Amino acid sequence: MTGKIAVTLATLESHNHIIGDIERGVKIFERGGVEFLEHEPGEYVGHVPHKRGESKTASVKFSRDGRDIEYNFCHCTWRLENSPVCRHVVALVLAIQGGIVNTELTLGKSASAVTKVTEHNTAHAVGSGSTHVFATPMMIALMESAARKCLAGCLSEGQTSVGTQISVEHTAASPLGAEVTATATVERVFGSRIEFIVTALDGSGEIGKGRHTRAIVDAARFMTKASERR
């Protein structure tokens, strides 16, 4: 493990989980009584209160940076596929890390970015085509800008977010003078990896849609690694 364990509720919700068990797990944790031990670095086994004085045995393995879970198991779900996160796993994770991580990053959080189509951001101007309509690369950049804005209030000092993947359709052309709005909505959170649904609209309706992934990184370390590629 290279960092402290800090798994957010949004990350737990993003994993395959039993509906309603995130909230139930929080309540179990708050009542106390969860016992655990570290079996291997980053791997924990615990006994979580159940009902009528009984307990369930659960285990969890954290990612190297401590921001996500790589594996989880509980006796109450061992017959189910894909090891869903249950209430006992949630309570165990919260007990191990000492509580709920305070963050503004939640599923469904969204932000938008707006621009106007001018001669400077057309397909002809940026070299992606010959027409004087909003360029696909500029639509993608606007979507990334919206996603970056969505994460702005969720970063610690010294952190930034970088785009790692995007897959979009450009479905309609926007002429000169049109106002384009891109919106990014958090769909899933896996530690420092954030997945968004992105859309773009002009005054006549939708012009693009897709998915985008960003990673939260240490800005100085990121730039150092980038410089080493010279």
pLDDT, tens digit (0-9, with 9 covering 90-100), for 82-125: 789 999 999 999 999 999 999 999 999 999 999 999 999 999 99
Give CA angle at 101 (217, 185), nearest 5°. 60
Residue 169 appears among annotated catalytic residues? no
Catalytic residue among 77, 122, 136, 199: 136
Question: 144 catalytic, yes or no?
Answer: yes
Q: Does the structure show a pLDDT above 70 at 1?
A: no
pLDDT tens profile 186-208: 999 999 999 999 999 999 999 99
pLDDT of residue 121: 98
One of 170, 183, 212, 213 is an active-site residue; which one? Answer: 170
Q: Please provide residue 69's backbone torsions phi and psi, each rounded to the nearest 5 degrees.
A: -110, 130
Q: What is the pLDDT of residue 53?
A: 82
Checking if the pLDDT of 177 tops 70, the result is yes
From 15, 144, 183, 212, the catalytic residue: 144
Q: Is 183 a catalytic residue?
A: no
Q: Does the pLDDT at position 26 exceed 80?
A: yes
* CB neighbours of residue 100 within 10 Å: 14
Distance (Å, rounded) from C-alpha 96 to C-alpha 5?
8
Residue 132's Cβ-count burial label (10 Å; 0-12, 13-18, 19+) is middle
Report the alpha-carbon distance of residue 162 to residue 54 in Å, rounded.
Answer: 46
36 pairs with which residues across the strands?
46
Identify the residue with better confidence: 210 or 80: 210
Could you give all domains of the chain from N- to C-terminal order, each with its CATH number? 9-97 (no CATH), 110-227 (3.10.129.10)
- For residues 29 and 94, the answer to whether their CB atoms sit within 8 Å is yes
pLDDT for 81: 74
Report residue 168's pLDDT band, with 50, 70 and 90 as the boundaries.
very high
pLDDT of residue 60: 97
Residue 190, token pair as written in the block:
């896996």
Nearest to 150 by CA among 187, 203, 117: 187
Contact 123, 140 (CB under 8 A): no
